[in-house]
C-alpha cells in the first residue's frame, strides 16, 4: 500500500511541475496533501502491525507535525496547541479525522495569518463523559473573511464541502465558529 501511495504522489508531483496553471497547481497540491494524510494512517498501521485500530494521539501528533513542517512558517510566528487524549480509534474513523485536520490546517496556514501575523492553531481530541468523541481544530486568525469559504465560486469551497462529507462519514455533528478566528468542532461516537 505504501508503495502505491508513493507512486501516486510521485505522479501528482510530476503533473504539478508540468502544469502552467496556478489554480491547477494549487488543486494538485491540495489533493497531494489529502493523500499524504491517508498515507500517514497506512504507515502507522504497517509499523504497529495493526489493521483496525490506531492510537489517536500518535496518529494526530504525527499528522500535525508533517502538516506544520509543510505549511508552517519558519519563524515560529504561529504556535501550536495540541490537547489529544489517548484514545483507541477505529481506522474508519481515523482517516476522516485526519482529513478534517488537514483541511483546517491548510486553510489556516494559507489564510488566517496574513503578512506574517502571529497566531495559534489549536487541536483538541477527547472523549466526553457521555461517550462521544470530540475533535476541535481551529485558529485565532483573522476569522471568516478568508477562512474556508462557503461560496461555490471560491477555490476553497471544496474544503468546507469535504469537511461536511467527512463529518457525515463519521456520522457526526458539525459546528463551525467564525468569531475570534475559525473553529471546526465535530462530535461523533467511536
> Where do the structural domains in the chain lie, given as residue ranges?
52-188
Can you list the alpha helix ranges (DSSP code H) found in the chain?
2-18, 22-48, 56-71, 91-107, 157-169
pTM given for the model: 0.81
What pLDDT band is residue 56 in, cutting at 50, 70 and 90? very high
Other beta carbons within 10 angstroms of residue 66's beta carbon come to 17
Over residues 116-140, the pLDDT tens digits come to 889 999 999 999 999 999 999 999 9
Please compute the mean of the pLDDT values over residues 143-150 and round it to a whole number. Answer: 51
What distance in Å separates the CA atoms of residue 107 and residue 97, rounded to the nearest whole number?
16
Q: Say whether pLDDT at 85 is over 90.
A: yes
Query: pLDDT at position 21, please?
Result: 92
| Number of continuous H segments (helices) and E segments (strands) in the chain | 5, 7
Over residues 148-184, the pLDDT tens digits come to 544 434 445 678 899 999 999 999 999 999 888 999 9
CATH ID of 52-188, from 3.90.470.20, 3.30.565.10, 1.10.10.10, 3.60.110.10:
3.30.565.10
Please compute the mean of the pLDDT values over residues 98-118 and round it to a whole number. Answer: 88
Over residues 9-53, the pLDDT tens digits come to 889 989 999 999 998 988 888 888 788 877 777 777 677 777 788
Over residues 59-81, the pLDDT tens digits come to 899 889 888 887 777 777 899 99
Amino acid at each position: 500500500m505504501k508503495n502505491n501511495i508513493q507512486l501516486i504522489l510521485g505522479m501528482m508531483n510530476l503533473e504539478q511541475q508540468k502544469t502552467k496553471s496556478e489554480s491547477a497547481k494549487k488543486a494538485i497540491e491540495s489533493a497531494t496533501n489529502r493523500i499524504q494524510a491517508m498515507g500517514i494512517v497506512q504507515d502507522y498501521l504497517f509499523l504497529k502491525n495493526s489493521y483496525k485500530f490506531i492510537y489517536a494521539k500518535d496518529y494526530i501528533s504525527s499528522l500535525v507535525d508533517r502538516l506544520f513542517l509543510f505549511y508552517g512558517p519558519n519563524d515560529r510566528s504561529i504556535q501550536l496547541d495540541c490537547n489529544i487524549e489517548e484514545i483507541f480509534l477505529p481506522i474508519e474513523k481515523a482517516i476522516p479525522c485526519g482529513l478534517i485536520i488537514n483541511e483546517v490546517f491548510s486553510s489556516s496556514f494559507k489564510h488566517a495569518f496574513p503578512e506574517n501575523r502571529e497566531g495559534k492553531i489549536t487541536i483538541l481530541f477527547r472523549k466526553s463523559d457521555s461517550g462521544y468523541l470530540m475533535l476541535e481544530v481551529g485558529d485565532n486568525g483573522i476569522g471568516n473573511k478568508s477562512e474556508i469559504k462557503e461560496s461555490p465560486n471560491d477555490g476553497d469551497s471544496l474544503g468546507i464541502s469535504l469537511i461536511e462529507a467527512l463529518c457525515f462519514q463519521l456520522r457526526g455533528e458539525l459546528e463551525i465558529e467564525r468569531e475570534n478566528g475559525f473553529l471546526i468542532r465535530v462530535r461523533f461516537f467511536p
